[in-house]
A and B are shown apart, each in its own frame.
Chain A
Amino acid sequence: MKRVVIGAATLAGAGVAMARWLASRHRPPTPVKDPQEHTRWLGVTINRQPEDISRQGRLPQPLAGLDVEVRMNKAPGDRGTELYARPREPMPIGAAAVMARLRGDDPRQMVRKALREAKCIIETGELLEPDRPFATTRPTIPGRVLDVAIGRAPGEGRL
């Protein structure tokens, strides 16, 4: 019985986490829906000088492969360079936006992922690969929910 309760609580927790993740633009501590949600620049700060990031005017990979607007400026102090990007294509809204995020083809997910990857490549020389998954000994429902969250994680977050 205890295991059933714990399992149900875990599943509920995973569900709540997923719902919060999907509804992240509406949650405290910023309860006001961001009126600029679809036009905001997404940014990373890279621990390099601007000339190390855009060599001869070329965008860093994998950002160069996306249809994005890009800008950058020197970061304050010794923090390097702020690199910003946002998709040129129109953003899905409402239910279409939720479905796009679940499918993993929301344009902003792709930009976030590309910015993180560009930062890692520029700073370390390579993109860190996660350990490869191997067959789990027991597929579980919370595990499947988690798989969706893990799969979308590189493109999600507060970037």
Chain B
Amino acid sequence: MKALCWQGVNELSVERVPDPEILNAQDAIVRVIATTTCGSDLHLLGGYIPAMRAGDVIGHEFLGEVVEVGPEVRRHKVGDRVVVCSIIGCGRCWQCQHDMWSLCENSNPKSGLTDELWGGSTAGIFGYSHAMGGFRGSHAEYARVPFVDYGAFSVPDGVDDISAMFTSDSAPTGWMGADLGGVKPGDVVAVWGCGAVGQMAARAAMLLGAERVIAIDRFPERLAMTSRHVGAEVIDYTTTDVTAELRERTGGRGPDVCIEAVGMEAHSPGVEYRFEKAKQQLRIELDRPFAVREAIFACRKGGSVFILGVFAGAVDKFPLGAMMNKGLTVRGAQQHGHRYIPMLLDRVARGELVTSYLATHEMSLDDAPLGYDLFKNKKDGCVRAVFRPGM
């Protein structure tokens, strides 16, 4: 089959690779109908996630059709149209049974790597390095889906492929930020990052009752999209002092909930950007946490900060003093998608959650390297490039 393979830093190519096979009785093989780029893939491209091997298939946010099931699969059958959660969860360990699916204790066969790095292992993720299990990604014609009874969700009739596909990762990730960040009616919520995850977090905050939602980015087209499709207020951080603006918009308090949807390659208009990027390139510091720092500084006293952006290791100048003395609650997680996907599909079906507009570019899998060029470099207003292997 054809698949998009990581070949090295900023090198991708479409290759012929062996078809996936059923390896476990609870596996299924899914024919990929639609699969999309994600901002976290850019960390793989940039070489910031070290456990990648030349030839690895990337991609983790997808929808497809079940074409083969293992003998122990009970909830799915051949022909089902399913959205597959980017996180792999066994459904039976303590973490999964407590709805913390990205902490699954049985879905990462190479768990010693993250166990060693972080003092505790995390779940397997499709196409996201050998630290996350080394599973082949979804930018391919077919994908093997372990524990498919738990990780694949039938798509309601009437929900189109693209709308459903975004409930695989970006929509549940955004929802989790608002939900576990503790958004409640009347809150003012600020979201750093207007990519797909940030926009979904902003929309989730609204649906959970936030009175005002303020989204922050630097790309005019993304700010306009967030304003138009989500209805959020927006701030361009390249022309505005974000913390001052947030104070002014919130009676001097600051936002009740701050959601960071940027991650380890954050930008900053200040001189510190070049300094921290150099440290990151030299592996002196693994992540650039500008947005996290700003969120902690901006958050109201006693408020909540949720970190959705992907980070891998240690950061410098983490504002621990602000966090502690302001009495903040700071949380983060890879997404617990299984917890939210059925509800999100229902909301998409009812029209409460619109996701399809995020797909700014659709193309065949053969054009995936071009899609990543558009996505990485924000060319042509690209928010998400969607690949259709059958196109």
A-to-B contact residues, CB < 8 Å: 3, 5-7, 9-10, 12-14, 16-17, 20-21, 24, 45, 47, 78-80, 112, 116, 119-120, 123-140, 142-143, 146-147, 149-150, 152-159
Whether A136 and B51, one on each chain, are in contact in the complex, defined by CB atoms closer than 8 angstroms, is no
- The segment out of B7-15, B162-170, B208-216, B329-337 that lies at the interface is B7-15
CB distance from B49 to the nearest CB of A (A): 11
A-B contact pairs, 16 of them (CB 8 A): A9-B281, A12-B283, A24-B116, A78-B94, A119-B106, A123-B106, A124-B93, A126-B24, A128-B106, A129-B24, A130-B133, A130-B134, A150-B51, A156-B115, A156-B116, A158-B116
Q: How many A-B residue pairs have CB under 8 A?
A: 149
Residues of A within 8 A of B92 (CB): 47, 123-124
Additional A-B contact list (5), CB under 8 Å, known A137-B15, A157-B115:
A124-B26, A124-B106, A136-B54, A137-B5, A140-B53
With known contacts A80-B94, A124-B90, A158–B24 Cβ distance under 8 A: no
Contacts of A80 in B (CB 8 A): 94
| Min CB gap B223→A, angstroms | 31
A135 to B15, CA, bound (A): 12
Chain B residues with CB under 8 A of A119 = 93, 105-106
Let me know if B7 and A79 touch, CB within 8 A.
no
Chain B residues closer than 8 Å to A5, beta-carbon distance: 281
Main secondary structure of the interface of A (DSSP, over half): helix
Distance in angstroms between the alpha carbons of A147 and B283 in the assembled complex: 21
Residue of B nearest to A145 (CB): B50
B110 at the interface (CB under 8 A from A): yes
Asked if A150 and B72 sit within 8 Å, CB to CB, the answer is no
Q: How many residues of B contact A (CB 8 A)?
A: 54
Asked whether B224 is an interface residue with its Cβ less than 8 Å from the other chain, the reply is no
Chain A residue at minimum C-beta to C-beta distance from B283: A13
Check if B111 sits within 8 Å of A116, measured CB to CB.
yes
Known: A10-B9, A12-B283. A128 touches B115 (CB 8 A): no
Q: Which residues between 83 and 116 of chain B lie within 8 Å of chain A, taking CB atoms?
A: 90-94, 97, 105-107, 109-116
* B20, CB-defined interface residue at 8 Å: yes
Contacts of B115 in A (CB 8 A): 156-159
- Let me know if A112 and B23 touch, CB within 8 A: no
Most chain-B CB neighbours within 10 Å: which of A124, A139, A157?
Answer: A124
Interface centre among A9, A127, A158 (most CB of B within 10 A): A158
Contact of A125 among B50, B72, B109 (CB under 8 A): B72
- A127 and B146 CA atoms in complex are apart in Å by 11
The reply to whether the CB of B130 lies closer than 8 angstroms to some CB of chain A is: yes
CB < 8 Å: which of A6, A137, A140, A154 contacts B109? A154
Measured CB to CB, the closest approach of chain A to B128, in angstroms, equals 12
B147 at interface by CB-CB < 8 Å:
yes
User: Which listed residue (A6, A112, A135) contacts B112, Cβ 8 A?
Assistant: A112
Instruction: Determine the chain B residues whose CB is within 8 A of the CB of A10 once the complex forms.
Output: 9, 47, 50
Q: Are B24 and A140 in contact (CB under 8 A)?
A: no
CA distance A17 to B147 in the complex (A): 31
- Identify which of A17, A138, A143, A153 gathers the most chain B CB atoms within 10 Å of its CB: A153
Q: A47 — nearest CB in chain B belongs to which residue?
A: B94
State which of B9, B23, B72 has its C-beta within 8 Å of the C-beta of A131.
Answer: B23
Most buried by B among A12, A128, A137, A142: A128
Chain A nearest CB: distance from B136 CB in Å? Answer: 5
Interface string of B15-27 (1 = CB under 8 A from A): 1011011011110
Chain A: CB-nearest residue to B90: A124
Chain A neighbourhood of B113, CB < 8 A? 149-150, 153, 156-157
Contact yes or no, B116 A16, CB < 8 A: no
Are B26 and A126 in touch, CB under 8 angstroms? yes
Task: Give the interface centre of A12, A140, A150 by most chain B CB atoms within 10 Å.
Answer: A150
